[in-house]
Amino acid sequence: MQKGKPALRAVPQHRRDIRPGSGPEGNERLTAMTGAVLLAGFAAEGLTILSIHHLLALHFLLGMLLIGPVALKIGSTLYRFFRYYAGSVPYVRKGPPAPLLRLIGPLVILTSAGVLGSGVMLAVAGPAGRGPWLLLHKASFILWFGVMTIHVLAYAPRLPRLLLQGRARASAAIPGGAARWLLLGASLAGGILVAVLTVHWSAQWGAGAL
């Protein structure tokens, strides 16, 4: 057994052959689907920064909306992590991400939580209480941008294969397609709900408040 690699748990042969690869492949597909949504969402969010004083309300709205998909992607990533280190046969056979990606994975999660969390607190506190939250928001964004650049450069080239290549064949080979779309739709619906319920917070931010 390789050092640091979880031991394969003994699983009856008939159980190993049931829907082979559906677990890690399905998880990978869900993570890729969510990642594609986040890539588009954060790109739109980044564009609002170019004219933040005029697009501040949209900036807040998109930030709140992205909370749902971000939570789903963190959940799917942590699920793979725990299944792998728990010794689940399909996940151990699939193997872990590359060492660099394993290293920055926790940083992606922490900085994403920092950017969104400080943004929420900025919305709650308003201009009067922006002091430490604005500083934290800007600092966490800089860190997030750095680790996300590495993350996106590593994973973006794989998105076409995961999302488009042989889609009909892949849908038949990887069970749970409906559940994955349901989870993604639920995360977007949750994000939209949060955005709608908190959109009035941006009204207290007048022009030049940032």
pLDDT in tens, 98-154: 788 888 989 999 999 999 999 999 988 888 777 889 999 999 999 999 999 999 888
End-to-end CA distance of the chain: 55
pLDDT of residue 171: 47
> What amino acid occupies position 209?
A
Alpha helices in the chain (DSSP H): 13-16, 22-49, 56-65, 67-85, 89-94, 99-125, 131-155, 159-163, 167-173, 177-198
The residue range of the domain holding 42 is 23-165+177-203
pLDDT of residue 5: 55
The answer to whether residue 157 sits within a structural domain is yes
Tokens of 99: 């060492």
In this structure, how many other beta carbons lie within 10 angstroms of the beta carbon of residue 69?
Answer: 23
The answer to whether residue 64 sits within a structural domain is yes
Q: Tens of pLDDT along 146-180?
A: 999 999 888 878 777 777 754 544 444 566 778 89
pLDDT of residue 12: 44
The answer to whether residue 171 sits within a structural domain is no
**Residue 204 predicted with pLDDT over 80:** no
Confidence of residue 13 (pLDDT cuts 50, 70, 90): very low
Q: Which of 87-91, 138-142, 172-176, 186-190 has the lowest mean pLDDT?
A: 172-176
Q: Tens of pLDDT along 21-69?
A: 358 888 888 998 999 999 999 999 999 999 888 888 899 999 999 999 9
Longest Cα–Cα distance of the chain, Å, equals 66
Higher pLDDT, 9 or 138: 138
How buried is residue 169: exposed, middle or buried, by Cβ count under 10 Å (0-12/13-18/19+)?
exposed
**Residue 10 predicted with pLDDT over 50:** no
- The contacts of residue 186 (CB under 8 Å, 6+ apart) are 68
* Centroid of chain to Cα 196: 21
pLDDT of residue 123: 87
The answer to whether residue 101 sits within a structural domain is yes
What's the pTM?
0.80
Overall domain count for the chain? 1
The closest alpha carbon to 4, from 65, 107, 84, 62, belongs to 84
The closest alpha carbon to 210, from 134, 147, 118, 124, belongs to 134
CA separation for the pair 210, 131 (Å, rounded): 10
pLDDT of residue 4: 55
